[in-house]
Each structure stands twice: as structure tokens, then as C-alpha cells.
Amino acid sequence: MEQAMPIRRARRTVGFDAGRHHRAKIGFVLLAMEQTIESDMFRLAPAGVGLHFMRAPMANRISVETLAAMASGIGDAAALLLPDGDLDVACYACTSGSVVIGEARVFDQLRRGVPRAKPTSLITGVLRALKTLDARRIVVATPYLDEVNAIERDYMGAAGFDILDIEGLNIESDADMVRVKPDYIFDFAKSLDRPEADAIFISCGALRSIEIVDRLEQAAGKPVVASNQAMMWDCLRLAGVRDQIKGYGKLLQSC
């Protein structure tokens, strides 16, 4: 019987570098049924920025009741974002959920799950983006039910914005929101614009709005903020990344 060859321990100095995601690591807590945000974030992320995702339980129905019910799941999901890793920013990636649950409670949940990361939410990014653009009078296009729109209108009003108009498509299923054609989003948002509006806000991470932001800005002659565009901008700035990204509106290109 042949004797097994002894395993040799190599005497080597291993070469390490800062890794593929050396500039920043950003974590996102998504709704369980989300289908748009991940691909949008990868599309917008600069080289050297790592993206990490977890999903929180939720029924495939966007209403005040279902959004409010998912609050505790945010912290549970956040705890699984790059465990023991060096996450820079943690974001709750839902516009309507952010306004229904409230930023303070969302931040508490994110800190519970990822104590060392900077917490933010999708509505936080939107509000910061509008302030950076010096936009106070806003028209808002959403896919939501009227009950969700009413909360979003009041939430943004309390944050100091004058909501000139907010209109939703009364879509309840997230699976339908992801299927709204970008050209339809363009026409719908443009129809709400008015001369006195400082900016157009297209609300909802499920909508494929980043595809038409640049075109809508050119047509309307004013800034356009879309949920996923604003979320990436906010997360990058919190992580100290200030790259200018062309093709997705003034916010990412020059702010």
C-alpha cells in the first residue's frame, strides 16, 4: 500500500489588496417582491463601489397596511447585509414604505441590523436631492393608491415642500408597477408639470423611471428626480463617492 504524500504547508506571503469594492460598500433592504431596484443600482454604480441586497418579508400588495407591517423586518434583513463586513451605508429601498413607517423608525431598524453603517432611506435621498436642487414647489407622479399618495403628500409637506400636485396610477400590485412602460411614465409625469413647479418627482423604486429622466428633463426644462436615481446619489454621497454620472439627469451629473 502506497504511503500518502504528506501535505506541505507553503511558506508564502499572501498578496492582498483593497478588494474589488475598495471605494465603498452599500447595502439595500428591499421589499420581498422587488424586481427593479437591483438592476438599477448596478446600472448606476461607479466602479469600485460594492452593492449588497437583502429582502424583507411583505405581501405583493402596496397599501398603507402592508407597508406599515414590514417595519420590524427591516432590521432583521439589514442584519444579513454583509455580516461582519465593513458596510459604509445601509438604505431601506422603498419610497412609499419610508413615508408610511417614517424615517426615524426606519433608521432605528437599520441601526439595529447594521450598527456601524450610515442609515438612510429612499425618501431621505429624495428629500435631500430636492433640497440640493433648490426645488421647493414639486409635482409628483406615482403608481400608488390614493391612500398612499395622501401620506406622501403630507410627509413631503411637513418636510417643507409645496406639493402642487400628486397623482397616482392606483396600482396595488408591485408585479404590475414593474411593467409600466418607460414611455408611459414619461408622458404621465410630463402631463403633471406646470410652469410654477421647480421640479418633477417620479416616486417609486419599482418604476423604470431612470430610463427617461434625462429625456424628461430636456423636455420639461427643469430638474427631474426619480426614486432610484435619488437613492443612488444619496448613498454614494454618504459613502464619500462624488462621481458625476451622465445620462440620468442633473442630480447625478452635477450635484
- Give the model confidence (pLDDT) of 101-127 as tens digits: 999 999 999 999 999 999 999 999 999
- Between CA 175 and CA 245 the distance in angstroms is 29
Q: What is the pLDDT of residue 204?
A: 97
Q: Do domains 24-123+230-245 and 125-227 have the same CATH topology?
A: yes
Q: What is the pLDDT of residue 2?
A: 64
Q: What is the pLDDT of residue 185?
A: 98
pTM: 0.94
Query: 125-227 has which CATH code?
Result: 3.40.50.1860
The candidate with the shortest Cα–Cα distance to 155, out of 227, 108, 103, 224, is 103
- Between CA 29 and CA 32 the distance in angstroms is 9
Q: What is the pLDDT of residue 241?
A: 98
The structural domains of the chain, with segments of one domain joined by +, span 24-123+230-245, 125-227
Q: What is the pLDDT of residue 112?
A: 96
Q: What is the pLDDT of residue 12?
A: 82
Q: What is the pLDDT of residue 96?
A: 94
Q: Which residues of the chain have pLDDT under 70?
A: 1-3, 5, 7, 10
CATH class for domain 24-123+230-245? Answer: alpha beta
